[in-house]
Structure 1
Amino acid sequence: MNTAFERQNSIIADGINYEYIYIKSKDDSKPTLLFLHGFPSSFYCWRHQIDYFSKQGYGCLAPNLMGYGKTYSPLDMNEYKTKSMVQHLIALLEHLHLNKVIVLGHDWGVRPAIRFVLYHPERTLGVVLFNSGYRPPAWLDFDKMIQGTRQIFGYELFGYWEFFNSDDAAKIIEDNADRFLDLAYASDPALWKTDLAPLGKVREWVTNKKATTRASYLTDKDYEVMHQCLTEGMQPKLNWYKSALANIDWDDEKNLDYKIKQPVLYIGGTKDCICIPKFFAGQSEHITDLKSVELETSHWTMEENPESVNHEVETWIKHIS
């Protein structure tokens, strides 16, 4: 990431600190973009977008979400309610005197991005979803999800959640960060079909110390940042999975109006073997104004093809402005 991007820290509520990068808009006609990363990333995953859009005059705000960096990272999974995270983001906007933003979410960052617009549509100009599309709030039945994806796609898309929910997963990943990153950022995205997604396979990969060639778009610096992210503590990061499997958001979300009326841009990856675009084919039923784009990438779309991503996002922003 550009070293000119200064990391800041703010107490946004009692005892709750957020670490973030904020570059103020240089053009009053251009909005601020709120970037929400996924797992096991950090605000670093948006480096190409922050560099590009800040130079175009847009405001850029990229927080490390709960569990990452110096941001509030409790070990109690019950603190990882999405509604609480959204309130943290609203408090951060207030701290920075920002009103309306365009929210961009990738992977697990899509969840707070969507809930941001559901809880606070008045603060949102639009939403961009990367790889993971919109599925309305619902009670999660893990066994049913596993069986359903196996029947439709031929393998369990989310079998790795079982490992991430286990008591020993955090230590195993910390102790084998290289092997985990090999698989997460494999040069051959098809490995996710055989060695990440199915039940039991990611544990087998990591503990057997399997290795593969990493994706060519990762520099040594990129890898160093990602490795540090894993080894600084995995349990808070895995709490995103644990809390979802425990359905801790359901009481907050069961009566939400889940129709999204703000403009939405969905960017999927045709080589993504877990967040398969077809899995989100029904999202158009719940979004009034949806544009869908598919790029020839795997799961890390913004990092793999930043030029196309930046073009698609900027074109869409100009269209909705």
Structure 2
Amino acid sequence: MSQPPAADGAHRLVSSPAGRTHLVEQGSGPLVLLLHGFPESWYAWRHQLPALAAAGYRAVAIDVRGYGRSSKPDGVEAYRMLDLVSDNVAVVEALGERSAVIVGHDWGATIAATSALVRPEVFRAVGLLSVPYTPPGGPRPSEVFAQMGGTDEFYVSYFQQPGRAEAEIEPDVRGWLAGFFAALSADTMPSPGAPDPHFVSRDGMLRDRFPAGRLPAWLSEHELDVYAGEFERTGMAGALNRYRNMDRDWEDLAAFESAPITQPSLFIGGSLDSSTTWLANAITEYPTTLPALAASHILEGCGHFIQQERPRETNQILTDWLTALAP
């Protein structure tokens, strides 16, 4: 089976509740599990795998279920948050480990946080990139999203109906991904005052507001080809089904309402990343919600794709934090 390239990384398939989970592994030492976001794959961590390995860690980046070489179970409900947590636990066990540090970006940050929350005996520390930790609870997510945007529709609401976003994306996966990555990256995002690419005009498409004609500096044509090639092969439904379970997750995690994560933690956000700035209040609540937080870093002039836009800074922050953790 052909694989996308990873510098000195070993590709493996391991058994998990999803069926199988594909991972790329590099280095030896304490296990660090890396979770990507939307619309990405293990490849989002290509700059971190060698850096963490060189620092003395066993760095493992997975394809979350529904993505890449990992299994894609049928049915929207197969992508509930607790199912993804179970996949992560299975990966740790399949690698012969009892515990891991877990680090995630975008949706991966929320999956990592939930994994640490519900399985603290497995995940001894948690690093979050882009999306701050917000404890379970509060209003039902679909009701919150429905109230956003006025006459426009918030992208999470747009993603809810199976097949709707797929019909926009799949006829031109590469072009759509190029626009999406550009829309949320610091050097190519729309200027202040331009229509917000997180919202869809009534009867429009999300891509209507994407920048066109230029890739962000962090993304080469080859790297875009790697991402596009995976989604051309798999389709988009598995990735989008994560968004379609937010109300189910809200119900499933009711027992953890307002619960803090007490393990050592780290946050890295971008000053130009809406995922960070919209949730600024969550960051101010970290003394309560992340009482063992080591540091909260906001990278000035950085957009959403933090570890790819600013790999050197991200690698340094991660390795410094990991070094400071008790073994």
Q: TM-score, normalised by structure 1?
A: 0.87
Q: Name whichever of 33-42 and 172-181 sits farther off.
A: 172-181
Q: Which of 6, 22, 28 pairs up with 2:25?
A: 22
Q: Quick check: 1:170–1:234 contact (8 Å CA) kept in 2? A: yes
Deviates more, 1:175-184 or 1:56-65: 175-184
Q: Distance in 1 between matches of 2:128 and 2:325?
A: 15
Cα contact 1:81–1:248 (8 A) shared by 2: yes
What per-residue deviation string (whole Å, max 9, x for no partner) do you get for residues 64-95 of structure 1?
00111121212311111211211121112111
Deviations 1:30-74 (Å, cap 9, x if unpaired)? x21100111000000000000111122210111100111121212
Cα distance in structure 1, aligned partners of 2:200 and 2:63: 29
1:215-234 equivalences in 2 (<5 Å): 215-232=216-233, 233-234=235-236
Gaps of at least 5 residues in structure 1 are none
Q: Secondary structure at the match of 1:35?
A: strand
- Asked if structure 2 preserves the Cα contact closer than 8 Å seen for 1:197 and 1:274, the reply is no
Which amino acid in structure 2 is aligned with residue 17 of structure 1? R
The aligned counterpart of 2:44 is 45
Q: Give the alignment of 1:29-68 within 5 angstroms.
A: 31-68=30-67
The percentage of counterpart residues that share the same residue type is: 25
- How many angstroms does 1:266 deviate by? 0.5
**Displacement of 1:18 after TM fit?**
0.8
CA contact under 8 A between 1:133 and 1:283: conserved in structure 2? Answer: no
Q: Equivalent residue of 2:168, what SS? A: helix
AA partner of residue 45 (structure 2): W
Match runs of 1:118-137 below 5 Å: 118-137=117-136
- SS of aligned partner of 1:39: coil
Equivalent-residue separation in structure 2 for 1:180 and 1:200 (angstroms) = 17
The Cα of 1:162 is off from its aligned counterpart by: 2.3
Q: Aligned pair 1:162/2:167, yes or no?
A: no
Return the match for 1:287 from 280, 285, 290.
Answer: 290
Count, aligned residues: 309
2:195 partner SS: helix
Give secondary structure in 2 for the equivalent of 1:102: strand
Map 1:131-150 to 2 at 5 A: 131-138=130-137, 139-145=139-145, 147=147
Q: Distance in 1 between matches of 2:126 and 2:296?
A: 12
Mean CA deviation greater in 272-281 or 79-88? 272-281
Q: Distance in 2 between matches of 1:205 and 1:115?
A: 28
CA 1:94–1:69: 2 relative to 1, 3 Å: same
Contact 2:102 2:123 in 1 (8 A): yes
Equivalent-residue separation in structure 2 for 1:16 and 1:80 (angstroms): 13
Residues of 2 paired with 1:271 and 1:201: CA distance?
A: 26
What is the alpha-carbon distance in structure 2 between the residues aligned to residue 97 and residue 16 of structure 1? 18
Tell me which residue corresponds to 1:6.
Answer: 10
Alpha-carbon spacing, 1:236–1:212, altered in 2? closer, same or farther (3 Å) = same
1:179 matched to 2:202: no
Displacement of 1:306 after TM fit?
0.6
Question: Compared with structure 1, are the counterparts of its residues 113 and 159 closer, same or farther at alpha carbon in structure 2 (3 Å cutoff)?
Answer: same
2:271 aligned with 1:270, yes or no? yes
Name the SS for the 1:214 alignment partner.
coil
Q: What do you get for the CA RMSD once the two structures are aligned?
A: 2.6
Q: 1:207 to 1:90 in 2, by over 3 A?
A: same
Give the structure-2-normalised TM-score: 0.86
Relative to structure 1, is the Cα distance of residues 119 and 68 closer, same or farther in structure 2, using a 3 angstrom cutoff? same
- Please list the CA deviations of residues 166-185 of structure 1 after superposition, one character each: whole Å capped at 9, or x if unmatched: 33211320112233223222
The Cα offsets for residues 230-283 of structure 1, whole Å up to 9 and x where unpaired, read as 322101111011111xx1123431112621111111100001134425253344
Q: Deviations over 1:291-320 (max 9, x none)?
A: 200012100000011100111111122223
Query: How far 1:140 sits from its partner (Å)?
Result: 2.7
Aligned to 2:320: 315
Which residue in the other structure is 2:307 paired with? Answer: 302
Gap change, CA 1:202 and 1:125, over 3 Å in 2: farther
Aligned to 2:263, the other structure's residue is in SS state strand
- In the TM superposition, residue 229 of structure 1 has moved relative to its aligned partner by 2.8
Rounded to whole Å, the distance in 2 between the matches of 1:171 and 1:206 is 12
Matched residue SS, 2:272: coil
1:37–1:45 contact (8 Å) kept in structure 2 = yes
Shift of 1:209: 9.0
